[in-house]
Chains A and B, each alone.
Chain A
């Protein structure tokens, strides 16, 4: 069980009590255009509980100094908190050793680290990187840059019309030239949970490596990187109720050991002379400069917070809201849900006949309902699904059935106005 210094109302309940959870998120009590906020954009960035706000505030007030260098008490204290955060992330992801957890500035930074220090360092002309076509741009563009630099090639792995990972097409693409497979654990647009364990096994069978974008996936289900059998797993803090500006990369230790540094600077070296510098061991090798100390502590507090309920309870709650919202939206004539995989996390993308997603989002906003409209940083997927943009509602641990109803009513009202 995690240690929370400020026990919250929700923790005193044995079963998952969403009303109590909502009290832990101050922003959920605010109003927009005079209407109670219905926040359905957590897949873009989640709101923050008091446990996170308090942990960060307390750190700045009582335990703040730069880490890893000081000989004085306060620096020791800060270093201890920072390294404890790494240990919390290790436990959360199921990694064997804390040295396999590199703290980064976020999911994009984590994926770029793999692109630069693994792909760009080891790929050769003609090598192939297989990237799922439903990926977020942050899991496409870094591979294109690495391919450009090495002469490797990026090839898209198709998804089906339902948004399911096309496993047969994937296995057909596997050949000795494939060196890396990049796929998200959960699609930020379709909501599809990808069969990572199977993909990892098939990838390793041909001697390639697999990197997983877990920015959405780690928020909605229990992750165990060892059980999944992945080589790299990227997460970001702000989608899992933590602060912005911090994320992590899990990398198998033997892979991290072989990788050159990402950025040069303090903290990542063993010795520096003007002739030559030698690198520190992982993870320090990849953490040049003063890290995001308080943000890391905030992320650890967020992880402690979600784990205090159990990822299974969160998953069950979010699935309930997702299923309810799906049923309500399906009943609206002219509405098409993009992404109908059987195994989905809390995301619904949809289009509405005769209306642009931005019209729907604007009119929903008038009712206090916050949703996203656009290509969701997944332009290749938009092309695949035959749409230019979608409206996306996403659900989190604090989402409710009543909010799903507000969404459906808001969409119907918007459609009536636009008709």
Chain B
């Protein structure tokens, strides 16, 4: 099964990444995206919600929402103490948040992040952190 990673928001993201000339500009854009990420309630930032393997602190929870048709959607709530990571979280929430829980596993995050060039450009430690977040989202989807 293949869930299409197409939406107006994701297309915008692709276009902007493609349009920006260099990585300093892309980072500036990622930082701006991070500024739009809602703050996470401090009470939710606990050891249990912490995502291991990141270069900075990252906390993440999943909230389930049932729609009128009785289908379960997953909302991702996450935060970090680093601006760039907040931007990366925002990108992941664009990709995942609000999706049906049942389709989380089939979302090709690797492919999407590759399209943006994030998989090659990020430092290995940050890339590991990014994929630790993806793993956590998949675990939330499977729980």
Stretch at the interface among A237-245, A297-305, A361-369: A361-369
Question: CB of A359 within 8 A of chain B?
Answer: yes
Q: Is the CB of A418 within 8 A of B31?
A: yes
Q: Knowing A359-B82, A418-B83, say if A365 contacts B123 (CB, 8 Å).
A: yes
Contacts of A356 in B (CB 8 A): 56, 80-85
- Return A62 CB to nearest CB of chain B, in Å: 37
Question: CB of B2 within 8 A of chain A?
Answer: no
Q: Is the CB of A363 within 8 A of B24?
A: yes
Contacts of B31 in A (CB 8 A): 359, 417-418
Q: Knowing A33-B23, A388-B81, A418-B83, say if A358 contacts B56 (CB, 8 Å).
A: yes
Contacts of B85 in A (CB 8 A): 356, 358
Which of the four size classes fits the interface of chain B?
10 to 19
Question: CB of B55 within 8 A of chain A?
Answer: yes
Contacts of B28 in A (CB 8 A): 417
Question: CB of B131 within 8 A of chain A?
Answer: no
Question: Contact flags (1/0) for A329-360 with B, using CB distance below 8 Å?
Answer: 00000000000000000000000000110110
Question: CB of B57 within 8 A of chain A?
Answer: yes
Question: CB of A373 within 8 A of chain B?
Answer: yes
Q: Is the CB of B27 within 8 A of A373?
A: no
Question: CB of A374 within 8 A of chain B?
Answer: yes
Most buried by B among A355, A367, A413: A355
Q: Is the CB of B84 within 8 A of A366?
A: no
Most buried by B among A359, A365, A373: A359
- Return B44 CB to nearest CB of chain A, in Å: 18
From A355, A366, A374, A389, give the contact of B27 (CB < 8 A): A366
From B55, B80, B83, give the contact of A355 (CB < 8 A): B83
- Return B128 CB to nearest CB of chain A, in Å: 13
Question: Contact flags (1/0) for B1-37 with A, using CB distance below 8 Å?
Answer: 0000000000000000000001110011001000000
Q: Is the CB of B82 within 8 A of A388?
A: no
Q: Knowing A358-B82, A362-B84, A362-B126, say if A373 contacts B24 (CB, 8 Å).
A: no
Q: Which residue of A lies closest to B126 (CB)?
A: A362
- Return B80 CB to nearest CB of chain A, in Å: 8
A373 to B125, CA, bound (A): 11
A201 to B56, CA, bound (A): 42
A286 to B82, CA, bound (A): 45
Q: Which residue of B lies closest to A363 (CB)?
A: B27
Q: Is the CB of A362 within 8 A of B27?
A: yes
Contacts of A363 in B (CB 8 A): 24, 27, 84
A355 to B48, CA, bound (A): 25
- Return A207 CB to nearest CB of chain B, in Å: 44
Contacts of B126 in A (CB 8 A): 358, 362
Q: Is the CB of B83 within 8 A of A359?
A: yes
From A355, A362, A367, A389, give the contact of B123 (CB < 8 A): A362
B residues 67-115 touching A (CB-CB < 8 Å): 80-85
Q: Is the CB of B24 within 8 A of A366?
A: yes
A417 to B22, CA, bound (A): 14
Q: Knowing A362-B27, A362-B123, say if A373 contacts B83 (CB, 8 Å).
A: no
Most buried by A among B28, B31, B81, B83: B83
- Return A104 CB to nearest CB of chain B, in Å: 28
Contacts of B55 in A (CB 8 A): 358, 373-374
Q: Is the CB of B24 within 8 A of A359?
A: no
A417 to B24, CA, bound (A): 9
- Return B79 CB to nearest CB of chain A, in Å: 12
- Return B115 CB to nearest CB of chain A, in Å: 20
- Return B59 CB to nearest CB of chain A, in Å: 14
Q: Which residue of A lies closest to B129 (CB)?
A: A358
Q: Is the CB of B56 within 8 A of A366?
A: no
A359 to B81, CA, bound (A): 10
Most buried by B among A33, A358, A363, A374: A358
Most buried by B among A33, A355, A362, A366: A362
Q: Is the CB of A358 within 8 A of B24?
A: no
- Return A371 CB to nearest CB of chain B, in Å: 12
A363 to B57, CA, bound (A): 18
Contacts of B83 in A (CB 8 A): 355-356, 359, 418
Contacts of A358 in B (CB 8 A): 55-56, 82, 84-85, 126
- Return A363 CB to nearest CB of chain B, in Å: 6
Contacts of B80 in A (CB 8 A): 356
- Return B106 CB to nearest CB of chain A, in Å: 31
Contacts of B56 in A (CB 8 A): 356, 358-359, 389
A residues 351-407 touching B (CB-CB < 8 Å): 355-356, 358-359, 362-363, 365-367, 373-374, 388-389
> 4 nearest interchain CB pairs?
A356-B82, A358-B55, A366-B24, A358-B56
5 A-B pairs with C-beta separation under 8 A:
A355-B83, A358-B85, A359-B56, A366-B23, A418-B83
Beyond known contacts A359-B31, A413-B24, A417-B27: 10 more, CB 8 A cutoff? A356-B56, A356-B81, A356-B84, A358-B126, A362-B84, A366-B24, A388-B57, A417-B24, A417-B28, A418-B31
| A interface residues, Cβ below 8 angstroms from B | 33, 355-356, 358-359, 362-363, 365-367, 373-374, 388-389, 413, 417-418
